[in-house]
Amino acid sequence: MELVEWNDSFSVGNVLMDAHHRIFFETIKEFSKFPDKNDHEAIRKRIEFLIEYAAMHLGAEERLMRQANYPDIDEHKATHEAFVRELLSVKESFDKDPNSVTADTIMKIMQDWLVHHIAGSDKRYMPYVQNMQGSAH
């Protein structure tokens, strides 16, 4: 799988959201360099980190969208909830059978979601956030 690196095309025009997204990209890169693909404890810790980090980031993003009066927030929240359910499902599979989930599996799920979500859904709230930031000065 080809690794996608963070670049400015992923910017959503908000420093905090961009910083959060960069950390997701860095986490994916860590998975790609995993020394022991069968280190179940390390994979478990990474899954737990991703679940906690996703909850924190998605909550912050939803607050930002509310502040910017983004009209499609409910639809956007639904995509967040689906992603969290997918991560929880991965964790459940891993807990039942650690061999059923690999670092590569998690890397692919994360990268696919990140690239499509940022390039699609997140970019749609960008003008509202920029408008809000512009009117704050």
Q: Is the pLDDT of residue 137 over 60?
A: no
CATH label of the domain that carries residue 50: 1.20.120.50
Q: Is the pLDDT of residue 18 over 80?
A: yes
Give residue 37's pLDDT band: very low, low, confident or very high (50, 70, 90): low
Question: How confident is the model over 121-134, as pLDDT tens digits?
Answer: 899 999 998 888 77
pLDDT of the residue at 110: 85
Asked whether residue 28 is domain-assigned, the answer is yes
Asked whether residue 91 is domain-assigned, the answer is yes
Asked whether residue 31 is domain-assigned, the answer is yes
Determine the 3-state secondary structure of 1 from DSSP.
coil
Asked whether residue 121 is domain-assigned, the answer is yes
pLDDT of the residue at 135: 61
Asked whether residue 9 is domain-assigned, the answer is no
Asked whether residue 8 is domain-assigned, the answer is no
Determine the 3-state secondary structure of 102 from DSSP.
coil
Asked whether residue 113 is domain-assigned, the answer is yes
Question: How confident is the model over 89-121, as pLDDT tens digits?
Answer: 999 999 999 988 888 888 888 888 888 888 888
Written as one letter, the residue type at 108 is K
Asked whether residue 80 is domain-assigned, the answer is yes
Angle at which helices 40-67 and 73-96 pack, to 10 degrees? Answer: 170
Count: domains in the chain: 1
Domain with 77, as residue range(s), is: 14-135
CB 92 within 8 A of CB 62: no
Q: Is the pLDDT of residue 36 over 70?
A: no
Name the nearest CA neighbour of 79 among 49, 111, 122, 108.
122
